[in-house]
Structure 1
Amino acid sequence: MQLEWLEDFIELARTRSLSRAAENRCVTHPAFGRRIRALEEWVGTPLIERKQPLSLTPCGALFLDAATQSLQLLTAVRAQFKGTTLSRDEPVRIATGRTLACDFFPDWYESLHQRLGNFAVSLVTSGAQEAISKLSAGEVDLLLSFSSPLTHTLLDPERFDSRVLANEELLPVSAPDTKAQPRQRISVDHNALSIPWLAFSPSLALRGVLAQHLERLPQHLALRMVYQADSYDAILEMAKRGRGLAWLPRMVVKGALASGELVIAGGPEFHVAFDVSLHRLRTNQSEMVMNIWEGL
């Protein structure tokens, strides 16, 4: 029996939906179903009624209480051991994205260093879903991320603490029309029949942030996707070459705006606010993690 099966079952009991529980646990629906069946085989009896609406069997309700108490006890003991062993010589494990690792983390770490002194950090970069999964599984101590519909959905406030570190915004940008490179200026225009768009891949957290903002606009924008990437820096380079309109974090484009390689391509109504946030499992009470957390 694997501990993740208990976490799967508890999440399924909470949501009463196989598809939603699978999404929250960052696994595919079929894989999640196989893990629930494996748990039932280990227990030796069905735990859920596979009909709509989904419900627990009497044995499932009894097992839920045992699973919850067992997992809480094991997690608490593990956190206690970590709290007694994690020192300044052992790295605080932080998961984040490539952009935040380069454009936000160094300055933020310097502020922590000034307050807490030297301490080791192990920084892991990955996509948003993978990073959330690592935090949920206890493979990292902290998650540094852009706040998005994905993080709001997958980070249950009953299990995770979250703090806003900074306010950011997505800016609509494009290359300017210059004498050296004459071209048609691309900008946000409700009347345009087609706007070439440099888009985020689904794996990027800010895709959902931008989608929600565009849906709330009073008029539809005729965006035509001409390029898509899972890297903000890759989109930045295509925007500087005049290949289309892009929404990018201010921290990513500030240098290109200052040098004149890019210009703002839309008014304030097209600027999209979001946060940079830090997250941790509530059960992680290790000394260095709590020193960082309590000083935020």
Structure 2
Amino acid sequence: MDLRSVECFIRVAETLHFGRAAEELHLSQPALSQRIRTLERDIGARLFERNRRSVRLTAAGHAFLAPARTVVTQGERAVDSARRAAQGRQGRLRLGCTVIASYTALPQAIQEFRTTCPEVEVDLVEVNSPALEAALDRGEIDLGVLHPPLERPHLRLRALPAEPCVLALPAGHRLAERSTVSFADLAGEPMLAAPRSVGPVLFDKMVACFRAAGVEPRIVQEATPVTTLAGLVAAGAGLGFVTRGVATATRPGVVFREVPGAPAVPMAAAWAAAEPSPAGGRFLGILARHLGSVSA
């Protein structure tokens, strides 16, 4: 059943005048009459009794009027819902992020998105980068904020500003008195690090920085996520690198120092489809404003 024809029926039923209804609907009177005849044929009953002097509803027309109004209202709502979903203003956004990402401006971006798009339900999961890749591949999340390079090259990627690394060390450590620390200063120090399997490229870059300074890193314990590593530093288990965002979270007994030449943690948004979902695309725009420029 054509919704436009149902709208035409309602207008004729309200005006009881084909000419006036055609004018209000911006149709010619023959076109309006044809729509009504087609509708009557589809229903299998006459909806109007008319002659040269008057138009009136039949019993079938009276019975059809209230449901017809409901159908048109529901149709308009369905069209509006579809349009809002296509614009990323309605629906659902399944978002994944790493712990490191959660210590950037990501939470503020999510808050703004929820405020500006209240009809989009946001589901948030926090796991490591390899797990986010797998979740994207399985279709469990729509968008992941993670750390390239990716093991699955078929995933789509948009680069985000990298997160600089700083050294976390106990407040009473001998190096805590310095404003900056070099890799050479870390010779023989017990180091904490995330497992290489979580971020092999960053792990190898960090080891290369040590070796370029003539130092072999002494990794005494693997720890993940990075917040756990900071907790182990506070407990005196060793020293370790964390992102600057994590360093902004106050942790008693731990100080943070710049290490010139330390690699940054790469950041990116990833998705599995040819393009981000409409809600995902809208969220990426907000995230770009909070984090800075986003590379295509």
| Length-normalised TM-score, structure 2 | 0.56
1:211 to 2:225 alignment: no
1:283 pairs with 263, 274, 286, which one?
A: 274
Are residues 111 and 272 of structure 1, via their aligned partners in 2, closer, same or farther at CA, if it must alter by over 3 Å?
farther
Are residues 192 and 94 of structure 1, via their aligned partners in 2, closer, same or farther at CA, if it must alter by over 3 Å?
closer
Distance in 2 (CA, whole Å) between partners of 1:175 and 1:199 is: 15
Larger mean CA deviation between 226-235 and 161-170 belongs to 161-170
Query: Match of 1:124?
Result: 125
- One-letter amino acid of the structure 2 residue matched with residue 165 of structure 1: L
Are residues 114 and 165 of structure 1, via their aligned partners in 2, closer, same or farther at CA, if it must alter by over 3 Å?
farther
1:154 to 2:151 alignment: yes
Are residues 192 and 99 of structure 1, via their aligned partners in 2, closer, same or farther at CA, if it must alter by over 3 Å?
closer
Larger Rg: 2
Distance in 1 (CA, whole Å) between partners of 2:280 and 2:256 is: 40
Query: Match of 2:99?
Result: 98
1:238 to 2:239 alignment: no
- One-letter amino acid of the structure 1 residue matched with residue 138 of structure 2: A
Distance in 1 (CA, whole Å) between partners of 2:198 and 2:163 is: 16
Distance in 2 (CA, whole Å) between partners of 1:137 and 1:95 is: 13
Query: Match of 1:227?
Result: 221
Query: Match of 2:246?
Result: 252
Shift of 1:210: 3.7
Aligned 8 A contact 1:167 1:275 in 2: yes
Shift of 1:220: 3.2
Are residues 85 and 235 of structure 1, via their aligned partners in 2, closer, same or farther at CA, if it must alter by over 3 Å?
same
Aligned 8 A contact 2:91 2:121 in 1: yes
Shift of 1:209: 1.0
Give the alignment of 1:58-69 within 5 angstroms.
Answer: none
SS at match of 1:152: coil
User: Which structure 1 segments of 5+ residues have no match?
Assistant: 1-80, 178-182
Aligned 8 A contact 1:175 1:185 in 2: no
Shift of 1:244: 1.6
Query: Match of 2:35?
Result: none
SS at match of 2:228: helix
SS at match of 2:91: coil
Query: Match of 2:136?
Result: 135
Aligned 8 A contact 2:168 2:230 in 1: no
Are residues 227 and 194 of structure 1, via their aligned partners in 2, closer, same or farther at CA, if it must alter by over 3 Å?
same
User: Which structure 2 segments of 5+ residues have no match?
Assistant: 1-81, 289-296
- One-letter amino acid of the structure 2 residue matched with residue 170 of structure 1: C
